[in-house]
Amino acid sequence: MRHLIFLLLAGFLAAQSDAQVTGLATDGQGSPVKGATISLLSAKDSGIVKLGVSKEDGTFNFQTVKEGRYLVKANFVEFQPAYSSVFDAGQSAVTVPALKMEKQPGSLKGVVVTAQKPLLEVKADKMIVNVEGTINAVGSDALELLRKSPGVLVDKDDNLSLSGKNGVQVYIDGRPTPVSGADLASFLKTLNSSQVEAIEIISNPSAKYEAAGNAGIINIRLKKNKSFGTNGSASAGWNIGTYAKYNAGLNLNYRNQKINLFGTYGFNKGKNFNSMSIYRSLADSIFDQQATLVMENLSHNVKVGMDYFINKKSTIGIIVNGNFADPTITNKSATPISYAPTKMVDRILVANNSSEMERDNLNFNLNYSYTGTTGKSLVLNADHGTYDIYSNQFQPNMYYDATGKTPLSSVNYRMIAPTKIDINSFKADWEQPFKKGTLGFGGKIALVETDNDFQRYDVYATGDQLDRDRSNRFNYRENINAGYVNYNRAFKGFAVQAGLRVENTVSKGNSTGLSNNNGEYVTYNSGFKRDYTNFFPSAAITFNKNPKNQFAVNYSRRIDRPNYQDLNPFEFKLDEYTFQKGNINLRPQYTNSIGVTNTYKYKLTSTLNYSHVTDLFTQVFDTAETSKAFISKRNLATQDVVSLNISYPVRYKAYSMFANANAFYTKYNADFGEGRKINVNAGGLSLYVQNSIKFSKTWTAELTAFYNAPTVYQGTIKANAMWSVDAGLQKQVLNGKGTIKTSVSDVFRTLKFKGESNFAGQRSIVASQWESRQFKLNFAYRFGSNQVKAARQRNSGADDEMKRVQQGGGGTPGIGQ
């Protein structure tokens, strides 16, 4: 702390000799230009030192410019950039000659703006992965994109963690999804990369965001065209691994000064192969399961909407979007069961099950935004969404002798489980100038209702018979009422932000069914109710006196609530030796996080973060009936996590490279009694590197690699390292309107999972591999207008739209922020 104070004091004293640079931006006729971007550049390397905007009279002013040699650049839409000559800045003020910008040739017809975003943008509060322009992302789904995002880990069950912490809240276009676990993974697999514009990784969200998500928020931003006129794009792709896969997309948009109509459609079809082995030893038995899984997926994604610009200040919009999928899964497995002392196989269990599923999601959003000339703004969002999930699983279990040829017995059953989720929410956000800063406050009411009807049938030659002992219906209702206040203000050399969010949660679960009481079935009703209120403060301070060496410190407190599947006390039978049971005593987990971010010379970005998690819940394998196992979630005592993220871009002529490293150290502590203690110290490291080289105006090659070091998932599963290399090539055709992309993912086929768990007398070794190596081919074509016009009267509407999207507008799966 003494060193930090010394550095700040030294910077303050040095600033007393800084100078100011002033000037004027004009057009070719000498008239002042308002709103031009003014860049103060270093004469040594043309690096940006400061950025500004010209005022109403065309003037600009850079304060506290350190001694050195500089030049100034002015640019504006429809004008060619103008540069000053090189000058020396010392202890006295410098006034540069007027920067005269000439009109672009043909600018009256509009200017086509072409820009390429960097793969990763690292900011003080979040990291942005720009998926849209990358070659090797083509043909992937959203879950695969997350698997290769910096700091994100995906385990064998497709659970997400971020920098060593579980409890990640996934948003789609600024709205959280209400599903988790397997349901969330299935949903993400239906989103093709062609629909994704960017992925935002927000480690310490402000009070404006919902408090849910201990590890932070991952916001998947879908594409939306902002160009004027009628325009669109179409794409088609083909992948081949073990099986062929097909995808297609269509994006249409019409926009003028008063209205914006847009719609997107995505299609996915194909089979995916997965092999898995599970070795379990407990008591006197060993189970060595080998399985292959084929998932066939057919999905449609639709999004249509309209924005109406009432005037320069107000916009109203409506959006309807949906996701409709009919996946089927075929799982073939054989499990030799051995007597542990002799390791001799006693019998073999063959279980070839099949599942037919439907996963339909439909959402409606109505939004309104107002932006006044004095900096006041209001954003309103009303949302309604439904999730209809249905599964029909047939599970035959055939027992054979040790040779695998002689049948011993069989037990066959069917599980039918329809689930319906209804989501309703209303959210309001207000911002206004206050005490030389910006004051924001708002609130939200959200209601989620879930109805899950689990029906288990015994299958006989004569037909299916309901097993009333193993059937159950679970209803869950969760109401969250929230309010927040947030204030930010910029001072000379630093800026502050502070906020407080309060959330009241009222939840109720009710599990009903029939139980056998001495041969007589009676109705049981097991339920619980909770009502609790929490406060979630957040704060940040940014030291930006030296733009080339900025520091930011931030803090937030967050919560992760159990989902309805984790609370249902009913015991689900997954197979003959594995059960899954919810835990009504599962409490929310809470996280306090503090982070420091440094950005040096606009390139090197480092973030150090510390988190303390209480009541951490994790998936635990325990024993039942001596040789059987059940899976449940429990609250571990505590988890402490320290993480460091470093990123650096390199660009030299036609070559560019981006490298990102994320390391963490975590400590788990828990005591569930004799044989059930957890005291684990673990570290993790993930590396991501993208290399790109542009051979000509139309040819680009890309090579990406990522590596995850050995680590520990959820306190009990020790996982091996994972790594892969992707290579791709891109060709621009048809005068730049068409793009052909081809790539090979996981070139060396090294992307596979292997982990080990030893808890409560049970040792488990799990290994899994999927179709990670694929050849992918994609063609995209853009048509219609792609001109971004500089009409002053439409700027307000565009700004309103962006603010509405950032604050929750945009109609997406889930309940708003």
Q: What's the pLDDT at 740?
A: 93
| Top-confidence range, 169-173, 726-730, 812-816 | 726-730
Handedness of CA 3, 8, 13, 17 (dihedral sign): positive
Alpha carbon of residue 377 to chain centroid: 27
Distance (Å, whole) CA 544 – CA 123: 13
Question: pLDDT tens digits, residue range 503-541?
Answer: 999 999 888 887 777 777 778 777 889 999 999 999 989
Query: How many Å apart are CA 474 and CA 509, to the nearest integer?
Result: 7
Cα angle 51, 55, 58; round to 5:
100
Are the CB atoms for 151 and 201 separated by under 8 Å? Answer: yes
What does residue 66 show for φ and ψ, rounded to 5 degrees? -70, 160
pLDDT score of 285 more than 70 = yes
> Can you tell me the distance from the alpha carbon of 708 to that of 688, in angstroms, rounded to the nearest whole number?
9
> Cβ distance 249 to 268 under 8 Å?
no
For the record, the structure tokens of 293 come out as 């899984």
Q: How many CA atoms lie within 13 A of 454 on its CB side?
A: 21
> Does 686 score more than 50 pLDDT?
yes
* Predicted confidence (pLDDT) at residue 13 exceeds the cutoff of 70: no
Residues 6+ apart with CB under 8 A from 239: 139, 245, 246, 247, 270, 774, 775, 776, 777
Rounded mean pLDDT, 416-439: 91
Secondary structure (3-state) at 564: helix
Three-class HEC string of 591-642? EEEEEEEEEECCCEEEEEEEEEEECCEEEEEEEECCCEEEEEEEECCEEEEE
Who contacts 740 (Cβ-Cβ below 8 Å, separation ≥6)?
730, 731, 733, 777, 778, 779
Rounded Cα distance between 475 and 508, Å, is 8
**How far is residue 44 from each of residues 86, 171, 364, measured CA to CA in Å?**
10, 43, 54
pLDDT confidence of residue 814: 33
Q: Whole-number mean pLDDT of the chain?
A: 80
692 SS3 class: strand
pLDDT band at 18 (very low <50, low <70, confident <90, very high): low
How far apart CA 190 and CA 266 sit, in angstroms, is: 9
Q: Which residue has the higher pLDDT, 141 or 23?
A: 23
Confidence at 125, pLDDT banded by 50, 70, 90: low
DSSP codes of every residue in 682-693: EEEEEEEEEEEE
Predicted pLDDT of residue 9 = 36
Lowest-pLDDT range of 58-67, 230-239, 412-421, 631-640: 631-640
Tokens 């406050």, located at residue: 441
- In the chain the first and final C-alpha atoms are separated, in Å, by 36
More confident residue, 472 or 35: 472
Q: How many other C-beta atoms can be found within 10 angstroms of the C-beta atom of residue 28?
A: 12
The helix/strand/coil state of 113 is: coil
Provide mean pLDDT across the span 305-318.
91
Res. 384: pLDDT tops 90: yes
pLDDT in tens, 541-581: 988 888 778 888 989 999 888 877 777 766 666 556 666 67
Query: Mean pLDDT over residues 483-503, rounded?
Result: 90
CA angle 329, 448, 613 (to 5 degrees): 85
Separation between Cα atoms, residue 154 and residue 575, nearest integer Å = 24
As a residue count, the chain comes to 817
List the single range of 345-354, 551-560, 563-572, 718-727 with lowest mean pLDDT. 563-572
Tokens representing 376 are 């006041």
Contact 745, 759 (CB under 8 A): no
pLDDT at 109 over 50: no
Q: Is the pLDDT of residue 104 over 60?
A: yes
Q: What is the band of 182 on the pLDDT scale with cuts at 50, 70, 90?
A: low
Q: Average of pLDDT values for 621-638?
A: 64
Q: Is the pLDDT of residue 464 over 60?
A: yes
Nearest to 77 by CA among 98, 52, 57, 103: 103
CB proximity list for 559: less than 8 A, separation 6 or greater: 211, 212, 214, 503, 534, 536, 588, 589, 590, 591
Mean pLDDT of 294-299: 92
CB atoms within 10 A of CB 268: 23
Distance CA 24, CA 36 (A): 10
Quick one: tokens of 155?
A: 């385990």
